[in-house]
């Protein structure tokens, strides 16, 4: 199932472009995974601008946008600029000089650890979390937990593509979760 009908024609048109421009790669990076490759979308100037605008439109006033390494960075930076907000890079372990705060989590294809600089988060800062794909929700849930442990007020999450069949939303209870395109 593709959720291409939101009732907003402009938003539906952006969702259709995402369907057209996100390449499906079977068995990558391991057998059984249908990988969503966003590079054709990023290379299309109009589509890139439209998805950034759509992803930013879900939030009101925010202080910071948190983006997950690596593909999340590509969307979170422009979304932060569009919202007049700062950027918090959520990095894979070992990439940030200390002091850092960290969390471990499970992926659709493996396990990972993420880190942030807690000093960049003022207590009560309103933070929007941005990433390309919501799959099992492990990355997003770990990011929310990490941000909250640093005093952030996570006001919502904005994704390009949600793989609804993997049930990621269930790991984000009580949070506003928006996606440009939802697929099974």
Ligand X SMILES: O=P(O)(O)OC[C@H]1O[C@H](OP(=O)(O)OP(=O)(O)O)[C@H](O)[C@@H]1O
Q: Which of 71, 91, 115, 162 is the catalytic position?
A: 71
Q: Least distance from C-beta 161 to ligand ADE, angstroms? A: 8
Q: Least distance from C-beta 25 to ligand ADE, angstroms? A: 8
Q: How far apart are CA 150 and CA 168, in angstroms?
A: 23
Give the DSSP per-residue string, 82-117: HHT-EEEEEEETTSSPSS-EEEEEEETTEEEEEEE-
87-94 long-range contacts, CB within 8 A, separation 24+: 88/64, 88/116, 88/117, 88/120, 88/121, 88/127, 88/147, 89/116, 90/66, 90/114, 90/115, 90/116, 90/143, 90/146, 91/115, 91/116
63 part of the interface to ligand X, by CB under 6 A: no
35 part of the interface to ligand ADE, by CB under 6 A: yes
Count of residues in contact with ligand X, rule CB under 6 A: 19
Residue of closest CB approach to ligand ADE:
135
Q: Which does 171 bind (CB under 5 to 8 A by kind): ligand X, ligand ADE, none?
A: none
72 part of the interface to ligand X, by CB under 6 A: yes
Q: Least distance from C-beta 117 to ligand X, angstroms? A: 19
130 part of the interface to ligand ADE, by CB under 6 A: no
State the catalytic residues.
71, 108
């Amino acid at each position: 199932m593709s959720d291409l009908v939101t009732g907003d024609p402009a938003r539906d048109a952006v969702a259709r472009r995402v369907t057209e421009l996100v390449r499906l790669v079977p068995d990558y990076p391991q057998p059984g995974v249908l990988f969503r490759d966003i590079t054709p979308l990023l290379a299309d100037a109009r589509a890139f601008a439209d998805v950034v605008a759509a992803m930013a439109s879900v939030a009101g006033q925010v202080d910071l946008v948190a983006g997950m390494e690596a593909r999340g960075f590509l969307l979170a930076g422009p979304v932060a600029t569009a919202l007049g907000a700062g950027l918090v890079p959520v990095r894979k372990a070992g990439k940030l000089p200390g002091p850092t705060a960290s969390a471990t989590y499970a992926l659709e294809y493996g396990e990972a650890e993420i880190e942030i600089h807690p000093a960049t988060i003022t207590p009560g800062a309103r933070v929007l979390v941005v990433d390309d794909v919501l799959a099992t929700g492990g990355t997003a849930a770990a990011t929310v937990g990490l941000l909250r442990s640093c005093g952030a007020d996570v006001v919502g999450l904005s994704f390009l593509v949600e793989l609804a069949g993997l049930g990621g939303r269930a790991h984000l209870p009580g949070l506003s979760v928006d996606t440009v395109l939802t697929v099974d």
